[in-house]
Structure 1
Amino acid sequence: MSNSSLLKPKLRVLFVSHTYVVGVNQGKLEAIANTKEVELALLAPNNWKALEWNRFLNLETPCPQIRIYSAPVLFTGRVGAHLYAPWKIWQVINDFQPDLIQVEEEIFSLCALEVAVLAKLYQKPMVIFGWENQQRSLLLPRQWIRNYVMGATNLYLAGNQDGATVISNWGYKGKIEVMPQMGVDTDLFAPKIVNNNQNQLNIGFLGRLVPEKGIDILFTAVSQLRQQGLNCRITICGSGSSETDLRQMAAQRKIADVVTWKGAVRHEEAPQEIGQFDVLVLPSRTVDTWKEQFGHVIIEAMAMGIPVVGSDCGEIPNVIANRNLIFPEEDATALAVILKRAIADLDWRQEMGKYGIERVQKYYSHERIAQRLIDLWQKIISNSN
């Protein structure tokens, strides 16, 4: 290594996001810090409320390499409406002196607006990450915020292909890259030796039990398979408003005896549960206010060598990227055809498992996403000088 490379100063990047209140979500940040190419800081709320669970979350700090700044936010728990005291962001920028600021909040959010104002004032390049993937009309104040933030943004990271289209249609003229907010921990979600049972297919689902997740479609497909004399089971990991209806549906379709309900699963328990599946199915459907933005459980299962079958809702087909594993939304019969092949063709099932491992290693590990970000940041800094 040359003396010049040893003396090269590290790139200083400030992240601003409520997502990283939860320590397990900081894997990407840790992977960035571990490269030794970047000095990293994070500003996150110390009073974030998870509205879905109706409880406050403590800001976790599992990564000593990351400099943590914390402060309360107004309107905690409201992703688009929460904001810091402006002088707190000013203090953080003055103290850390970042070369670049990355805000992982929607581009029309109040938090993105207040960071954008200060980024312009301090002439700091700014990157925005957003999940928004529906072409919806915004109220006039939100439109103004969006337009102002777009004007301060050097790079927009879209969590999905639809999001890239949305931001372009909104008039953003800068550089757009498509990547998920977080990758997958390939040490935690590691391939396991699977004793495939050709006599019975264990089909897994992990997620919220709500209508848009399409679990009823999976029940219909399994009912069809049983009518053909094929042996399979379903393991449901999750909780939600539809559980009672789904239990009744399983009884109506005469499959209640092959459905196991595990309830909500903590993230650290997910590898153990996923490891029991022969395939994971994500049968999501588009509704007026939602379509699948990514489906993080897809890359977790793929990393473990578990084949993933998904509908063509939102980003699912782009993440899986294998037409043999994709079926049209609402089409239970098409899903049943894929599952029948998984039962009948063990070699194909194993091939699809290996395919998933290779795809995650190439695109979706924390380390791969970390390096992509560093490369993008360096280009921004070079263009800014």
Structure 2
Amino acid sequence: MKRARRLVTLSHSYVVGLNRRLANEMALVGAGTWDVTTVAPRFFHGDLSPLTLQLEAEEAARTEGVRAFFSRSLHAFLYGPEVRAHLASSADLVHAWEEPYVLAGLELALLTPRRVPFVFCTAQNLSKRYPPPFAQAERGVVQRSAGWVAWGETVKENLLTRPGYAERPARAIPMGVDVDLFHPNRAQGESLRQELGWATSGPPVVGFLGRFVPEKGVPLLMAALDALGTPWRALFVGGGPMEGALRDWAARHGDAARVLTGVPHHGVPRALNAMDVLCAPSQTTPQWREQFGRMLAEGFACGVPVLGSDSGEVPRTMGDAGIVLPEASVAAWAQALASLLESPERREALAARGRERAVTRFAWPVVAKAHLDFFTELLERRG
């Protein structure tokens, strides 16, 4: 019987159990063919609070904890010396979920034995010039790699223009969504509407999910709703610096608008199911453009019609399952919303297309298989 290939996948994000979903799905999809080990920091300073590695019950992949130093900085942190043993063992391929320009990415590339293919993944969809030593780190990681994974087509297109990237095999793979957790459940959504004080009957609900910041298009969506003559209700779910301004705007609209904050991840499907339309009016800035649009895939999975802007990866994520609109045109957004709110049949058709796209493109088993197929291709290239 042929020995299963050993995959070692490392990421500082793996300190959070939810972020190990990709590794666990690769272990499930590759059962009998791939043996997957996850390496994660035992402790990491998170954006909001310190994080300690906790193993979940019945994870398909083994998880090994190691030390991480200088973890207050994503660019400068390093894995502890015990990571060398995991990389120097009998791995057939090493996968690093670290950007190539961070020092930890360079560390993992250098510690991986030369005989072992090293693959990194990246979400960098803006052309940037890095100062030393990060520019040197990027060049070193790219040169050492056997291939790289881009979290989106626009990421791949951007990086193919940078030195060295085009000389390595690359694969654009989207992020995944749990299509079992995120699924159509209108009764669940209706219960949330009732909690919000909305009657069962009433105008369709226009929804927003994400950070309350200008680059996510909150001001544009407020302006588009203000311009609508068609009756509507609006539900903004998320949090961020614009919360105060958003609540002031909602108060002016009385019973028509609600702002919901503090929703945990497992509560997001319920919020999405309370919406009749999901809007993702992301706005490109010199420092940012949408890298994927997780809310789009989650909205699709819940069978919610989706409108998205033409910022960054949004049109690629949407495909033909949603409606893509100019990111800066309030008039276009108002017109599209009016057309959709006035047509239950069109909303139903978009909902069906979105759910199909979520299941066939963004479901975790699909995303995991895409990774394993790419890894297999790289190994076969090496003979």
Q: How does 1:37-76 map to 2 (within 5 A)?
A: 37-51=33-47, 53=48, 55-62=49-56, 63-76=58-71
The CA deviation at 1:250 is: 4.6
Does 2:206 match 1:211?
A: no
One-letter code of the match for 1:201?
P
Render the CA deviation track for 1:137-164: whole Å, top value 9, x for unaligned. 1113211111110011111111122211
Provide the rounded CA distance (Å) in 1 between the counterparts of 2:202 and 2:75. Answer: 49
User: In the alignment, which of 23, 27, 31 is matched to residue 33 of structure 1?
Assistant: 27
Structure 2 match to 1:233: 233
Q: Is the 8 A contact 1:198 1:346 kept in 2?
A: no
User: Which residues of structure 1 form unaligned runs of 5+?
Assistant: 1-6
The equivalent residue for 1:248 is 248
Structure 1 distance, partners of 2:240, 2:294, is 18
Which amino acid in the other structure matches residue 48 of structure 1?
F
Q: Which AA in structure 2 matches 1:300?
A: E
3-state SS of the aligned residue for 1:374?
A: helix
1:43-80 C-alpha deviation (Å, 9 max, x unpaired):
111211222x2x11222322433111112212214322
Percent of aligned positions that are identical: 28
Pairing of 1:1-385 with structure 2 (within 5 A): 7-35=1-29, 36=31, 37-51=33-47, 53=48, 55-62=49-56, 63-85=58-80, 87-95=81-89, 97-119=90-112, 121-171=113-163, 172=165, 173-180=167-174, 182-193=175-186, 199-225=202-228, 228=229, 230-250=230-250, 254-255=252-253, 257-322=255-320, 325-385=323-383
Secondary structure, in 3 states, of the residue corresponding to 2:239? coil
Q: What's the counterpart of residue 195 of structure 2?
A: none
1:116–1:94 distance in 2 versus 1, CA, 3 Å: closer
Give the superposition deviation at 1:324.
6.0
**CA distance in 2: counterparts of 1:168 and 1:34, whole angstroms:** 32
- Structure 2 residue matching 1:106: 3-state secondary structure: coil
1:209 CA drift (Å): 1.1
> Any idea what SS the aligned residue of 1:204 has?
strand
**3-state SS of 1:102 partner:** strand
- 1:140 partner SS: coil
Report the CA distance between 1:169 and its aligned residue.
1.4
Post-superposition offset of 1:256: 5.0
State the AA in 2 paired with 1:167: L
* SS of alignment partner, residue 181 of structure 2: coil
CA 1:323–1:11 in 2, change beyond 3 Å: closer, same or farther?
A: closer
CA RMSD of aligned residues (A): 1.9
Distance 1:244 1:337 in 2: 27
Q: Partners of 1:310 and 1:49 in 2: how far apart?
A: 33
Please give the alpha-carbon distance, in whole angstroms, between the structure 2 residues aligned to 1:129 and 1:19. 13
Q: Secondary structure at the match of 1:12?
A: strand
Q: Deviations over 1:19-46 (max 9, x none)?
A: 2222122222222111212111111112
* 1:222–1:336 contact (8 Å) kept in structure 2: yes
Matched to 1:166, the amino acid is N
TM-score in terms of structure 2 length? 0.91
Q: Kindly tell me: are residues 324 and 88 of structure 1, through their superposed partners in 2, closer, same or farther at Cα, counting changes over 3 Å? A: closer
Deviations 1:348-373 (A, max 9, x none): 10100011111112211100011111
Q: Given residue 350 of structure 1, which amino acid in structure 2 is its aligned partner?
A: E
Determine the structure 2 residue equivalent to 1:4. Answer: none
Aligned length: 368
SS of aligned partner of 2:43: coil
CA distance in 2, matches of 1:198, 1:334: 27
> Which residue of the partner structure matches residue 3 of structure 1?
none
Deviation at 1:249, TM superposition (A): 4.3
Q: Is the 8 A contact 2:173 2:371 kept in 1?
A: no
Aligned partner of 1:205: which letter?
Answer: F
CA contact (8 A) 1:219 1:250 kept: no
Q: How far has the Cα of 1:329 moved from its partner?
A: 1.1
Q: Give yes or no for contact 1:201–1:233 (8 Å, CA) kept in 2.
A: yes
With structure 1 as the length reference, what TM-score do the two structures score? 0.91
Question: How far apart in 1 are the matches of 2:5 and 2:273?
Answer: 39
Quote how far apart the aligned CAs of 1:122 are: 4.0
CA contact (8 A) 1:198 1:344 kept: no
Give the direction of change, closer, same or farther, for the CA distance of 1:342–1:60 in structure 2 (3 Å limit). Answer: farther
> How far off is 1:273 after superposition?
1.0
Distance 1:133 1:310, change over 3 A: same
State how far apart, in whole Å, the 2-side matches of 1:340 and 1:39 are: 51
Report the secondary structure of 1:163's partner residue. Answer: helix
